A and B are shown apart, each in its own frame.
Chain A
Amino acid sequence: QQQVKQSPQSLIVQKGGISIINCAYENTAFDYFPWYQQFPGKGPALLIAIRPDVSEKKEGRFTISFNKSAKQFSLHIMDSQPGDSATYFCAAIPGSVYQGGKLIFGQGTELSVKP
């Protein structure tokens, strides 16, 4: 119940295309859903995040769509660029104080954007 399932495992997109990564969860106590971007040899960096009372959040070319009833959320990268090639992790945080500090990660998606 503390899992976040992420798909696909890998994704190849042409430059200018739309990259879509999906995540699903079961625990309704999750109350914060960040996405992290990780380049080879670097630590993960926070990309964008959403609360469950918001259906969509957009920052530049990156958009999170959130479907609370389906317990699913997704990352859309518009006009994908070769510089977006990285591994993307969705994540979730339990809302209870007891679980404070524990970020639950999805398994990751390796995105490759071809020029």
Chain B
Amino acid sequence: DTEVTQTPKHLVMGMTNKKSLKCEQHMGHRAMYWYKQKAKKPPELMFVYSYEKLSINESVPSRFSPECPNSSLLNLHLHALQPEDSALYLCASSQLLVKLRSPLHFGNGTRLTVT
């Protein structure tokens, strides 16, 4: 089992809904990440938090809003999504920003379908 826990595992939402994805890790990692993955494609980086501060936003549309309430939790708030936003959303963490001795640990993702 992965040490990065994501909830829910599946989510279906309409374009006018507001929902949130949650991610939790208890490895003491200080960097946390949101990735988006389409079928048969590599993960695409969305956001990076380091010490609970947003350090990278990969020009993600404002309908995706990240939040890092503490060092163990990461949320992704969703509002007014489009059908093309349907994807697997992956949370990841690393001890510090990812490098040789700080590998990335992924959760199993939330499969999001926007109708």
Interface residues of A (CB under 8 A from B): 31-32, 34, 36, 41-46, 49, 51, 87, 89, 93, 100-103, 105-108, 110
Contact = CB atoms under 8 A, between A and B. Distances in A.
Interface of B: 2, 4, 31, 33, 40-43, 45, 48, 50, 55-56, 90, 92, 97-100, 103-109
Counting chain B CB atoms within 10 Å of each CB, the highest count among A31, A36, A101 belongs to: A101
Nearest to B9: A41
Given A43-B90, A93-B99, A100-B97, A105 B105 contact: no
Contacts, number: 65
Given A43-B2, A44-B43, A108-B41, A103 B98 contact: yes
Given A42-B109, A43-B4, A105-B42, 8 more contacts: A42-B2, A43-B90, A43-B108, A49-B100, A51-B100, A87-B40, A101-B31, A101-B55
